[in-house]
Amino acid sequence: MMSQSSFDRLSVALSIVAALLIGAAVIALSGTNPLLAYGEMVEGALTGSGLRNTTARMIPIVGMGLALSIPFRAGVINLGGEGQMVLGGLAGTLCAIYLPGPPALVMAASIVAGAVAGAFWAFLAAAGQIWLKLPILISSLLLAYPARAITSYLVRFPFADPTVTSSSTVPVPDANRIPKLPLFGGVSASLVLLAFFLVAIAIFNQRTVAGYETRMTGLNSRFSRYGGVGVDRQVVWVMLASGAIAGVIGTHLVVGETYRFLDGDLVASGFAWTGLLVTLLASHRPLPLLAAGAFFSALQIGGLAMQRNVNVPWQIALVVQAVVIVVLAGRFVLSRRQRAQPEEIPMAEGELTVTGEV
Amino acid sequence: MSNALELRGISKSFPGVRANDNVDLEVRRGDIHAIVGENGAGKTTLMSILYGLTAPDSGEIVVDGRTVRFNSALDAIAAGLGMVHQAFKLFPTLTVAENVVFRNEPRTGIFLDRAEAAKRVRALGSEYGLMVDPGARIEDLPVGVLQRVEILKALYRDAQVLILDEPTAVLTPQERDNLFVTLRRLKDRGRTVIFITHKLGEVMAVSDRVTVLRGGRAVAHLDTASTSPTEVSRLMTGRNVDLDSRPPPSLLGEAVLSVTDLTVRDDDGLVRVDAVSLEVRSGEILGVAAVAGNGQHELIEAICGLRPADRGSIVVGGREVAAADMAVTRESGLAYIPEDRHRVGTAAGGEVWANLVMGFQRRKRFRRGRFMRRAEVEEHARRIIADYDVRVAGPAVTAATLSGGNLQKLVVGREMSHAAPLLVAEEPTRGVDVGAIEFLHRQLVEYRSQGGGILLLSAELWELLALSSRVVVMYEGRIVAELDPAETDEAELGFFMTGGSR
Ligand SMILES: Nc1ncnc2c1ncn2[C@@H]1O[C@H](COP(=O)(O)OP(=O)(O)OP(=O)(O)O)[C@@H](O)[C@H]1O
Ligand SMILES: [Mg+2]
């Protein structure tokens, strides 16, 4: 008998193969040899500067995935990662630009500022649910718009760099930038932060009492409440943690990558949404999340190389990504159906719920 | 007489359990066939194999003399089977008629012919004594009526064999009697009924034959007329079960719960508990008798901290908790066996250990700082599994795979392990087998003899009378009588429960 997890792994592999085959068909239709194109993709993603770019892209994708995985695992749907990331990013950037002092301290302060701003924005969404009874799913999403507007205003007016035509801040002074590690020809030291988040979350989930309680709330919040868990307080904590990590990632994207906060830049990246997909695919578990994030990063970077070298539009990479998602999502629905049946049998006795059949 | 269906040599294993072991079953056409067995004996598994929901490892199913293979419930339905689960599969926002005719709608052109659907539902209902309003919305209906809708749905699809898994577990005595009338009518019209129950009185009252499962094997096929509840329970458990002994009196201590002038509203703002006062003292079991929906559940929720009190006071362990949540009431010395083990009492997706440590997780014994002491947690889980005879391979198994009665024992075992001064027990023996009822009753009596106070709710009046030191009756949110179980009987309780007064 196959265990659930080996079944999972097999079907993940199968859906990736299926997606690559569909991608190959599309490439062939556009008149290019798919093997050639894929070769370029792999080479572009995993060799030379490609490896650096893939790793660099992994930081925000996995980072946002981790940020969102914390509330999701507790059954709290934070769709406002983007707003939290953008506001955190601006707060961190402004600190890095304007705060006087020794660079190491300024850098630390800017990361903390990013975390605080992101956490604050996430807290507003939690407060909306607890005091205004507005579901976090909605309040967090709605709060993304004012976050954009506020940052947009700030970088266009009070903090605009008058010497450039685009609306952006002045660049972060060289000394205050997050340094590059001597890895793959220069990956941001934020990678260390990412590793720290990953390990901390894995330990929290597996080993701590609060990690246990959040998982139970995610499985059945009435059960948690019944067991004496302060579910409202828990909502606040998971949102604070989520927003803080999102804010740090936003800070990294400027202070460790682009060095200028350019209006709309962080939003256009779509990292928050890719992160959302990644955590959903990984069922909010940190290690699978890292794997999924690395795969999507490689796909995107490889896609760009493919476009450059064999002139296949890089959207093909997005097609492959989309197919993986659709196939995997289909697998979730399927396996949930298969599991739903034996699960419903024990529910036959004493269950009072009315379940809608779909 | 011919067989409506036969199961031959059905076996099914799950990791670590042989749920069905070479089971043979013959069900004669037109019979009411009862299936009994201890919790985890494999009854539900056998029925879900018969209904195409689970594939057997080996064995065959014969319907009307033909060997069949069911790949899904749809195949089983096509072969003339119908199953009523208690997790009803109905569309909450649609009407009764729309649910019943779903997938076989009478049409005018492409539109559902509502009048025709309602007419057919009404006709089927009056034929079988299943009275429902075809135009009523599912979400507005109580459980007993939903069950009727499910039966109608099966009959509308012309089920010749109807399978019911513990249909009476959630019914009031009145609803149960109605169900039995329906079952007899089905029989009179030549249909076949298979039903699972733990209540041997029901087996004797309505069935023609009974099959006893034990440890996954069919150990006996009996004619009801020539057997007795004692014989059946001995076959199920391998020993004699005695449920009639009355507990000895015990010493009363101080109050562990005092409720004064408590008023509670439901989600719609209606007053469900109306100025109730009561007291539970250490060393006693206070029984609460009430017909479903007379405020007893809201009373319990308010005491536990799961529902706000409108007015009045609740004191648990010397602490005012009328405005508290369940973290506080648990801390003050309360444990709670909830009526609904699925929606409140467990997390189906969590492991057995995760379900057993709930409520304990912040205790010193189970943590080192912020970290959980997994070895201690597993040890705790193992002990409850052993003490309460929860049939499960180990603490790491997912709770969703436990049989109904075993999940109930898990919840009861967990809450009793708190050894809290006040135990609130709501339907503590729902869905457990007779042997386990006897065991749990002994545990409850032991609990109060050790100085615990118990507030007991049960729809089974005999259970209330057998366990309680005192019984209060609730009617329309008020306490209308207090009785001494030694000097009253079910008839008198029933009289007060339906609004009678002296
Ligand atoms: N999907 C599953 N995975 C693993 N074990 C299972 C699964 N379904 C059932 N079992 C096990 O099979 C055994 C029989 O379960 P089943 O639900 O058939 O019992 P039952 O006779 O209906 O008991 P109850 O009276 O408590 O409802 C139990 O030990 C149960 O834990
Ligand atoms: Mg069962």
Task: Work out whether the CA dihedral B83, B87, B88, B90 comes out positive or negative.
Answer: negative
Residue A358's pLDDT is what?
27
Beta-carbon pairs below 8 A across chains A and B: 162
Q: Tell me, in angstroms, the distance from the centre of ligand 1 to residue B215's CA.
A: 10
Whether pLDDT at A3 is above 70: no
Q: Is the shortest distance between the CB of B406 and ligand 1 below 6 Å?
A: yes
Determine which residue's CA is closest to atom 19 belonging to ligand 1.
B40
Within 8 A by CB and 6+ apart from A290, the residues are A62, A198
Helix, strand, coil percentages (3-state) for chain B, rounded to 5, are 35, 30, 35
**Do B194 and B93 have their domain in common?**
yes
Same domain flag for B385 and B426: no
In a domain, residue A20? The reply is no
Pair B367, B462 in one domain: no
Q: Is the CB of A350 under 6 A from ligand 1?
A: no
Looking at beta carbons, which residues of chain B come within 8 Å of A351? 86-87, 340, 342-343
Q: Is the minimum distance from the CB of B440 to ligand 1 under 6 angstroms?
A: no
Domain containing A248 equals 56-292
CB within 8 Å: A349 and B402: no
Taking alpha carbons only, the member of B48, B61, B44 closest to residue B10 is: B61
Taking the CA of residue A348 as reference, the ligand 1 atom at the shortest distance is: 27
Q: What is the mean pLDDT of residues B92-96?
A: 85
Task: Examine the pLDDT at B312 and tell me if it is beyond 70.
Answer: yes
Report d(CA B406, CA B414) in Å as an integer: 12
- pLDDT confidence of B245, banded at 50, 70, 90? low
Residues of chain B with C-beta less than 8 angstroms from the C-beta of A352:
143, 170, 340, 343
Query: Which residue, B442, B467, B443, B440, is CA-closest to B456?
Result: B467
How much is the pLDDT for A353? 33
Answer whether residue B365 is part of any domain.
yes
Distances (CA, A) of A207 to A72, A76, A290, B352: 18, 21, 19, 17
The token pair that represents B456 in the structure block: 């007991």
Q: Ligand 1, residue A345: give the atom nearest the CA.
A: 17
**Inter-chain touch B166–A350, beta carbons under 8 Å:** yes
From B430, which residue of chain A is nearest by alpha-carbon distance?
A350
Q: In angstroms, what CA-CA distances link B311 with B304, B326, B452? A: 15, 18, 27
Residue of chain B nearest A343, judged by CA positions: B400
Task: Answer yes or no: is pLDDT of B57 > 50.
Answer: yes
Residue A40 lies in a domain: no
Instruction: Find the CB nearest A349 among B166, B343, B367.
Output: B166
Cα–Cα distance, B458 to B167 (Å, whole number): 17
Alpha-carbon distance A95 to A251, whole Å?
A: 10
The answer to whether the CB of B372 falls within 8 A of the CB of A212 is: yes
Cα gap A90→A159, rounded to integer Å: 10
Nearest to A345 among B44, B92, B361 (CB): B44
Question: Cα separation of B73 and B258, whole Å?
Answer: 51
State residue B87's pLDDT score.
67
Query: Is B354 found in the same domain as B474?
Result: no
Domain shared by B181 and B204, yes or no:
yes
The model's confidence at residue A8, banded by pLDDT at 50, 70 and 90, is low
Are residues B403 and A346, on separate chains, in Cβ contact within 8 Å? yes
CB contact under 8 A, A350 and B408: yes
Q: Evaluate whether residue B338 is within a structural domain.
A: no
Q: Mean pLDDT, chain B, as a whole number?
A: 91
pLDDT, one tens digit per residue, over B420-471 is: 999 999 999 999 998 899 999 999 999 999 999 999 999 889 999 999 999 9
Report if residue A288 sits inside a domain: yes
To the nearest whole percent, how much of chain A has pLDDT over 90? Answer: 56
If one compares B397 and B238, the residue with the highest pLDDT of the two is: B397
Predicted confidence band of residue A339 (pLDDT cuts 50, 70, 90): very low
Confidence class for position A350, pLDDT limits 50, 70, 90: very low
> In A, which residues are within 8 Å of B430 by CB distance?
349-350
Separation between Cα atoms, residue B377 and residue B274, nearest integer Å:
42
Q: What percentage of chain B carries pLDDT values higher than 90?
A: 70
Q: Has residue B253 been placed in a domain?
A: yes
* Secondary element (H or E) of residue B471: strand B470-475
Same domain for B164 and B205, yes or no, is yes
pLDDT tops 90 at residue A15: no
Residue A84 belongs to some domain of the structure: yes
Give the rounded percent of residues in chain A with a pLDDT score beyond 70: 88
Residues B287 and B465: their CA atoms lie apart, in Å, by 8
Spatial distance between the Cα atoms of A316 and A314, rounded to a whole number of angstroms: 5
Establish if A5 touches chain B: CB-CB under 8 angstroms: no
How far does residue B42's CA lie from ligand 1's centre (Å)?
A: 6
pLDDT value at position A337?
Answer: 43
Containing structural domain, residue B438: 242-333+420-502
A340 touches chain B (CB under 8 A): no
Residue B262: its pLDDT value, please? 96
User: Is the minimum CB–CB distance between A192 and chain B shorter than 8 Å?
Assistant: no
Q: Strand, coil or helix: what is A260? A: coil
Q: Of the bound ligands, which one is closest to the alpha carbon of residue B41? A: 1
CATH code of the domain in which B83 resides: 3.40.50.300
A355 interfacial to chain B (CB closer than 8 Å): yes
Mean pLDDT of A192-201: 97
Among the listed ranges A325-329, B6-10, B299-303, which one has the minimum average pLDDT value? A325-329
Q: What is the pLDDT of residues B272-298, one digit of tens each?
A: 999 999 999 999 999 999 988 899 999
What was the pLDDT predicted at A354? 33
From B187, B177, B138, B149, select the one nearest B32 (Cα to Cα).
B187
User: Last residue of a domain, which of B378, B412, B446?
Assistant: B412
Using the Cβ of A349 and the Cβ atoms of chain B, whether some distance falls under 8 Å is answered with yes
Interface residue of B86, B95, B267 to substitute, partner A, most A CBs within 10 Å: B86
Q: How far apart, in whole angstroms, are the C-alpha atoms of residue A265 and residue A168?
A: 10
- State the distance from the centre of ligand 1 to the C-alpha of B166, rounded, in angstroms: 14
Report the residue among B166, B170, B197, B401 best suited for mutation to probe ligand 1: largest number of ligand atoms under 8 A from its CB: B401
B435 touches ligand 1 (CB under 6 Å) = no
- Quick one: B380 and B232 in the same domain? no
- Asked, for residue B309, whether it belongs to a domain, the answer is yes
Q: Which residue has the higher pLDDT, A186 or B350?
A: B350
Query: Is residue A19 assigned to a domain?
Result: no
Nearest to B335 by CA among B359, B314, B355: B359
Is A330 contained in some domain? no
User: Is B45's C-beta closer than 6 angstroms to any atom of ligand 1?
Assistant: yes
Of B355, B374, B464, B465, the closest CA to residue B412 belongs to B355
Q: Which residues of B touch A347 (CB under 8 A)?
A: 85-87, 342, 348, 404
CB A83, CB A204: distance < 8 Å: no
Domain count, chain A: 1
pLDDT of residue A227: 96
- A264 lies in a domain? yes
Judge residue B184's burial from the number of C-beta atoms within 10 Å of its C-beta, 0-12 exposed, 13-18 middle, 19 or more buried.
Answer: middle
Query: How far apart are the C-alpha atoms of B188 and A357, rounded to whole Å?
Result: 32
- Express each pLDDT in A227-271 by its tens digit: 999 999 999 999 999 999 999 999 999 999 999 999 988 888 889
In a shared domain, residues B19 and B64: yes
In-domain check, residue A318: no
Q: Which of B210, B237, B264 is the last residue of a domain?
A: B237
Phi/psi at A253 (nearest 5 deg)?
-60, -30
CA dist., res. B54 & res. B71, Å (int): 8
Tell me which residue has its CA closest to atom 2 in ligand 1. Answer: B401
Indicate the residue of A219, A341, A357 with minimum beta-carbon distance to B347: A219
Asked whether B56 lines ligand 1 (CB < 6 A), one says: no
CA A208 to chain centre: 23
H or E element in which residue B311 lies: strand B311-316
Cβ contact B29:B1 at 8 Å: yes
Same domain, B281 and B383: no
Q: What ranges in A227-270 are assigned the alpha helix state H?
A: 231-251, 265-268
| Whether residue B169 is found in the same domain as residue B33 | yes
Shortest alpha-carbon distance between residue B251 and chain A (Å): 30
pLDDT, tens digit (0-9, with 9 covering 90-100), for B174-218 = 888 889 999 999 999 999 999 999 999 999 999 999 999 999 999
Which residues make beta-bridge pairs with B474? B479
Nearest to A302 by CA among A129, A57, A1, A26: A57
How far away, in angstroms, is A37 Cα from ligand 2 center? 56
Count of structural domains, chain B: 3
Domain assignment present for B493? yes
Q: Which of B86, B169, B359 sits opposite A227 (nearest CB)?
A: B359
Pair B106, B254 in one domain: no
Under a CB-based contact definition with an 8 Å cutoff, are residues B183 and B33 in contact? no
For residue B339, tell me if it sits in a domain.
no
Query: What is the reported pLDDT for B252?
Result: 86
Mean pLDDT of A116-120: 98
Q: How far is the CA of A324 from the centre of ligand 2 (A)?
A: 39
Taking only the tens place, the pLDDT of each residue in A137-188 is: 999 999 999 999 999 999 998 888 888 888 889 899 999 999 998 888 889 9
Nearest CA to ligand 1 atom 10: B401
- Which of B206, B237, B268 finishes a domain? B237
- Same domain for B82 and B139? yes
Is there an atom of ligand 1 within 6 Å of B17 CB? yes
Tell the residue nearest (CA) to atom 8 of ligand 1. B401
pLDDT for residue B308 is more than 90: yes
